[in-house]
Homo-oligomer: A and B are copies of this chain.
Amino acid sequence: MTSEDVAQARAAAAALLKRARVAVTRDELESMEIADLGLGDIKRLGLEVIVYENNDRYCAKELVLLPRQICPEHRHPRVNGRNPGKKETFRCRYGEVYLYVAGEPTAKPMARVPRKYRSFLTVWHEIVLRPGDQYTLPPNSLHWFQAGDKGAVISEFSSTSADATDVYSDPRVRRVGS
């Protein structure tokens, strides 16, 4: 990403948080993670993340998705004997989220995926989250999601987050960050 790409994504995510009436500090906006996952296509693939708290017991983040931005398919595998992998709850605060998990594929899914990203999306059971809706994912379960046309703000509640251990279906993805 160029520094202009990062600045544009940050400004767009900040505007979405404002529209969603989610109060964040200036520091949080400035340190918000702009994650293009190494694919250099932040407007269509990636997400913007504010980590509120991540300690040895729990984690809470605000996830921002720009309009139609996709968080690509991944899972949170077992970390060690005591940690069977991250368990997480997505709660939609603003906009619409199309979440896909294992199960009967949805006949006419709401997601619109550019051709180049389709091969690595293998689960197609759709869950639509609107403001106030939430869904909890068990550890190690494949999932991916896309925001609707207005973008989305999602509160993520979870066990401890260790993003570096995440496994993405698309081998081109490079996860950096917390």
Contacts and interface: CB of A to CB of B under 8 A. Distances in A.
Number of copies of this protein chain within its complex: 2
Given A60-B157, A157-B157, A53 B23 contact: no
A24 interface: yes
A57 B58 contact: yes
The range of chain A's interface size is 20 to 34
A75 interface: no
A131 interface: yes
A55 B94 CA distance: 24
Interface string A47-75: 00000110101111000000000000000
A141 interface: no
A157 B23 contact: no
A76 interface: no
14 contacts: A23-B92, A25-B132, A28-B132, A53-B89, A53-B134, A53-B136, A55-B87, A57-B57, A57-B159, A58-B58, A58-B89, A58-B158, A60-B60, A155-B155
